[in-house]
Structure formats: C-alpha cells, structure tokens
Amino acid sequence: MTRLSTTPTGTPTGTLTGPPAGTPAGTAAIRLIEVTKRFPGTGADAVGRGGGLRLDVAKGSIVALLGPSGCGKTTTLRMINRMIEPTSGRIEIEGRDVTRSPVAELRRGIGYVIQQVGLFPHHTVARNIAAVPSALGWDKDRIATRVRELADLVGLEPSLLDRYPDELSGGQQQRVGVARALAADPPVLLMDEPFGAVDPVVRGRLQDELLGLQSRVQKTIVLVTHDLDEAIKLADRIALLNVGGVLEQYASPDDLLRAPANEFVERFVGGDRSIRRLTLATVADLPFAQGPVVAVETATADDARSAMAAHRSDWFGLTADGVFLGWVPGAALDGAGSLADLPRTVPAAQVAATSTLRAAMEIIMTSDTSVAVVDDGGRFGGVVTLERIRAALAGA
Amino acid sequence: MILAQATNPIIRWEYLRDEWDKVRTALIQHIELTLLAVALGLVVASVLAAIALRYRWTANPITTFTAFVYTIPSVALFGLLVPYTGVSRTTAVIPLVGYTLLILVTSILTGFRSVPPAVRDAAEGMGLSPARRVFTVELPLAVPYIITGIRVATVTTVGLVTVAAIVGEGGLGRLILDGLRRTFWTPMTVGASLSIILALVLDLSLWGLGRALTPWTRRGGPQRAATR
C-alpha cells in the first residue's frame, strides 16, 4: 500500500515522481461542477469564489479537503449531502444530481461522521449503530447481525454494545460513529474532522484503523481536515482550498509536497515538505544497494575487508543462507578466526521493505551503519543509505 | 382566647370520622383538578413550545405572554372569569392551566435547546426524517427537563387549586375555606395537611416516572467507572 508514485511498470525509479496514484479518470463517484455557496448577508462566496469549485472524487478513493479556517472545506463537505444547499452549480453522486432524490433518502445513502461524533446519548451503542437501518425499516434479526458485523469491523468489543455512549472513551465513541455511518453500507462516506477531538495517540491509531477499514470496504471518502499530516497519511488525493473555497491544488500527497502549484500551496505545506515526504515513501520504493555484505558460509576475512574497502565503510554485514545476521565492526576482523564468531550489533540496524523512509532514516541516524532491508523471513534484500534517500527526494 | 383554644384545638380527630365522605370528596376533586389542569397545561404548552421552536421569533412573545399570565393574582383571575363562565369547573380550570404555562413552556424549550448540536447534526446528516428526529432523538433528550417542569407545575397547581374554592370548586380548599368561615381549625388543618401530602406524593411519583424514562442518565461515565 505505497503512497509513493512509481512508474507504470511498478519498478522503483529512485525518484518520487511519476503519475499520481489513484483510479483512472472517468470513474468519479462524486463530482462537483462549478459549485458556489454564498451565505445570505455576506458579500463574497464562501465556496467557489471566482468561477465555482470543480472537483472529481474517484470511486473508492479518499480525498482530503484541506485548508485554513474559512476556506469553506466543511461547507463544501456539507453541500454533498445537502446539509447546505449550493447557491449555484451542481453536485453529482455516481452520475446523479443530488437534488434529484429526496434529501432524507440521499443522506441515508451517505455515511456521515463528525468531529463531536454526535452519538445519541439515550440509545445504547447497538441502537446508535442501528439508527439508519431502523429508519430504513430493516427487520430485527438483520439489524442485530449487521450491528455485530460492524462492531467487529471497527474493532469494538461486543460487550460495549449494551453500554450508553457516555460510558465509552473518546476513541471508542469515534469508532461507534464510524460504525453508525457504515451501517447501511453506503458507497460514500463524508467525514468532518473525524479525529479532531481525540488525543494524538488515539488519533494515530484511529487513522491507521480507517486505512485498514478502507482497504476492506473500499468506500469513496471525502474527509475534511486542517491537519496536513492527517491529509498526507489518509488521502489518495488532497484538495487544498484557500479562503473562499478556491481550489489551489488537487493532487496526490506526494505531488503536493514535491511540486506545490503556487506560493499559497508552498507556504501551506511548509519548508519541511521533504521531511514529510519521507512518511509517504516506503523503503521498497528505493533501489537497494548490495552494500558491504558478505555470506558467512563462503566469505573470508579478506572478502570482508575488500567489501568494506569497496564501499568505503568501517562495517560489514553478514548473511547466512540469505538471512541477515547483523553488522560487524571492521576492527573485529583483526586476529579473528571464523566470520561466524565475530561480534554483531544487537539489534541489527534493519528495516522491513514496507517501512517508511522516515523510519529507515531514524534507524540510520541512531546507528553507526547503513540499514539492511529484510523481508518478513529476515531475508536480506539490500541496504538503504542516507545518500540513496537524499537522492530519491532530490530526484524530483 | 384561652377558652377558644381549649375548645378549638388544631385538630379534632372525630371530624375525620364524622366528615370522612366530605374529606374524601374534596381530596378526589383536588386530585382531579390538579391532573386535569396539568394535563391541559401540557397540551397547550406543547403547542406553544412547538410554535416557539419552529418560528424562532415567536419564542420571546410566547414566553412573555405566559409570564404575564403567571403574574396575575390568582384570586383576581378566578373572580374575573365568573361573569363569563359562571361558578363552574371551567372557571377553576382555566386559570390553573394558565399558571402552568410559564413553567411548562420554559422547561420544554430548555429541554429541546439542551439537545447537543452535534447530536442534532448527526441525526439530520444520517437522513432521519424531521418527525423521527423530534420523537426519537430530541424529545427523549428533553424529557429530564420537561419532567422537572411538570413536577414544579404540579406542586404549584396543588397549592393553587385551594384558591379555586372561591369559585365553588377547589377540592381541599373548600375545607380550608369552611374552617376559615367558622373559625374552626380542624377542617383547615385537614385541608392544608392533605394538600401538602398530595403535593409530596405527586412530586415523588413524577420523580420516579422521570427516572424510569431516562435510564441513560443513571449509568456512570468512563470517569466514574475508573474511580470505582
């Protein structure tokens, strides 16, 4: 699940450039067409100032509406389920104008998650989750089955189903909110700062859970956030809005960070955008080097010395039957007999291919060696060096 | 006076035995008038509150009007109606209903306004119909406030019913009036005591009803659970 752009063949290119990830054009699940909103008594459009807002959200993707306060991101979101009616323009969901269906019917087909969750305090968790199915007139058994299914999907203990919302922690409440939104299996999910009210640790976990959930349910999700990191982490594409609901850039997180379209975007994403990109790319996206690594079965001390010399390194790595054993300081070679007896660093500086570049960099920074890339079974794949990471970021 | 006190004690228990039918009739009438007034008051207040919630600009005039009714001295109001509705139950009930309105309308409005905006937003956003939102979400959440209003209105009405004795109704009030006219303490004591007891019993029953209707308010939150 890399969020790094690669070439169409999927081979790592050593740069973070390439066509934006996402579904092919023409399968927009949600389409905003020259939408504007002007609130009565205000002199300017809150959304779509200067020509209207155009936005296509690909089916099954997560799009983050990102921007400073007053950029109309929440207003834009709320126009999709007609909590707010546009002043002009058109909004389509799966090709159908949202104003063509009765508003309650439209909303029952769109999951809605808000920051304050808004659980019904007088209903048990199970009844909260069942709100939309009940309104749709599902029978009791079907509702009960669905509620258990959803509790499992969002990671809620079944014992919590009989509790009232006030008896739950903030994180648990937010999970109930997501389960409630998914209850009638709507194709579209709208989320307004869904994780804004929980502490950073829980937020991170809920974000991970959302990504895990999304890989299973494949909804079309529009998410409002003011948090760049959240948008980078969750979104397939980010719509960066300026005050007045003006779309400044609509691109994949990597493209947004790599190539800001204008000064506003550049200022918004900040001077540390290269650092942020490190969280987007995984080690697997880099070309690996062999590094000063030798096989313990065949190599001699001289082989190790020449490997170190070739890589201008004071360290060398050992593998046994393809499995990475660890790094050995070159000084340990003097007077030693078998390579297998040499002292190795514990824990060895190594990362999984699925780790982020940021994680790899963290390990490089805190060890004396390069980082070995290993797979699930510990098999050695190559090494990642600081230089390779730098080159990948600069390659843009 | 000493002699009067000796022959006119606070209560003569024989009275309760000899005049039991009279006392019982008065008590039943008192209960009927109270329940009727509060029930009608709740109907009228619900309509007024619904209007005030639906058309916000009417909220102020409506509460001002009910507050104005509340300020009219009760004796005067009962008397004022006699030329129109005669000495009848109607004459007694109209002011009693009127006096419940301020408390009931205010408590209904407070109850509905106490519904958290996020709850309202979520209910609307998930596509619940307006009727479903009102009856399954907003009304239940307003119940604790409304019950409190009904309790105050009921206790107040129990007291006011005694005043309705001046227009020939008034339940226990008639015993009190009777005692006053005859300077005979016993009916006054009986009437006043039963009125107080009735108020307490009704208040307690409504409190119990309120608890039964709002089970979610009794469970401890996560904080309380943690300290246990």
pLDDT at B182: 87
- Residues with Cβ within 8 Å of A79's Cβ and at least 6 positions away in sequence, in order, are A32, A35, A37, A47, A85, A86, A91
Q: With cut-offs at 50, 70 and 90, classify the pLDDT of residue B113.
A: very high
pLDDT at B228: 31
- Cβ atoms < 10 Å from Cβ of A43: 5
Tokens 């490997």 — which residue?
Answer: A307
- Which of B115, B124, B126, B216 is the best mutation test for A, with the most CBs of A within 10 A? B126
The residue in chain B having the minimum alpha-carbon distance to the alpha carbon of residue A78 is B125
Please name the residues between 181 and 210 in chain A that touch chain B, using a CB distance below 8 Å.
181, 190
- How far is the alpha carbon of B44 from chain A, nearest alpha carbon, in Å? 27
Q: With cut-offs at 50, 70 and 90, classify the pLDDT of residue B13.
A: confident
- How far is the alpha carbon of B131 from chain A, nearest alpha carbon, in Å? 11
Report the pLDDT averaged over residues B115-126: 95
- Which of A117, A128, A166 is the best mutation test for B, with the most CBs of B within 10 A? A166
- Model confidence over B144-153: pLDDT tens digits? 999 999 999 9
Cis bond before residue B9 (omega within 30° of 0): no
Q: Determine, for residues A135 and B132 on separate chains, whether the beta-carbon distance falls below 8 Å.
A: yes
Extract the residue ranges of chain A whose pLDDT is less than 50.
1-25, 396
Confirm whether pTM is higher than 0.80: no
Q: Determine, for residues B125 and A114 on separate chains, whether the beta-carbon distance falls below 8 Å.
A: yes
Contacts with A119 from chain B: Cβ below 8 Å: 119, 122
Is A68:A62 a contact under the CB 8 Å cutoff? no
Q: Determine, for residues A164 and B216 on separate chains, whether the beta-carbon distance falls below 8 Å.
A: yes
pLDDT at B220: 56
A315 to chain B, any CB pair closer than 8 A? The answer is no
Contacts with B219 from chain A: Cβ below 8 Å: 163-164, 166-167
Q: With cut-offs at 50, 70 and 90, classify the pLDDT of residue B132.
A: very high
What's the token pair of residue A15?
């740069």
pLDDT at A25: 45
Report the pLDDT averaged over residues B163-181: 86
B220 to chain A, any CB pair closer than 8 A? The answer is yes
A20 to chain B, any CB pair closer than 8 A? The answer is no
Q: Which long-range contacts (CB under 8 A, 24 or more apart) does A132-135 make?
A: A132/A108, A132/A180, A132/A183, A132/A184, A132/B126, A132/B127, A133/A183, A133/A184, A135/A108, A135/B126, A135/B127, A135/B128, A135/B129, A135/B132
Interface size between A and B, measured as CB pairs under 8 A: 82
